[in-house]
Amino acid sequence: MSAISFLIDRYALGPAILEYAVYGLSDQLVLARPGPGAWSIAELVAHLADSDVVASDRMKRVIAEPEPTLLAYDESAWNDRLDMQQAPIEQAVALFAANRRWTERILRHATEADFARYGMHTEKGKVTLADLVVTYVNHLDYHLKFLYGKRANLGVAIQPRYSYPIV
């Protein structure tokens, strides 16, 4: 198995891992704001869905366009101004899953040379396609730590599952 195939496989695990992490949560638990972190589980999952859509846009631009500009965004402003506290968690999980499946298909058709292509992020500078995929595998795991912590604080802990960050 090539390193690229392994990376895409790890990316593709995301939906199942997120679905497991939120399974069985009531609306009341999803809206609660127990630490760690300031967001509720609803806001956290909405952020994961939004950021994955942004990531997919960046990945497609890097594959399709020469040195595209990749815009940064204010994740807290998105959560606050777009009222993600009221976003249905089922829809956020479904969006995350559909987007990952769609992007996985694109990544599996990309060439090894495509993974070396890059865009210019407005805050981070030069970012390759491989960098983007690694970032979003790790991004999910990073936020799952908060989600599992919130579940534990709410008295509904489950055994954590991660895709295990890529270093």
| 42 Cβ contact list (under 8 Å, min separation 6) | 30, 31, 84, 85, 86, 87, 89, 92
Residue 165 lies in a domain: no
Residue 163 lies in a domain: no
User: What per-residue confidence (pLDDT) applies to 164?
Assistant: 72
User: What per-residue confidence (pLDDT) applies to 165?
Assistant: 67
User: What per-residue confidence (pLDDT) applies to 38?
Assistant: 81
The CATH number of residue 26's host domain is 1.20.120.450
User: What per-residue confidence (pLDDT) applies to 162?
Assistant: 86
Low-confidence ranges of the chain (pLDDT < 70): 36, 165, 167
Residue 166 lies in a domain: no
Question: What domain count does the chain have?
Answer: 1
User: What per-residue confidence (pLDDT) applies to 134?
Assistant: 96
User: What per-residue confidence (pLDDT) applies to 36?
Assistant: 62
State pTM to two decimals.
0.95
Place of tokens 């995350």: 96
31: domain range? 3-153
Residue 162 lies in a domain: no
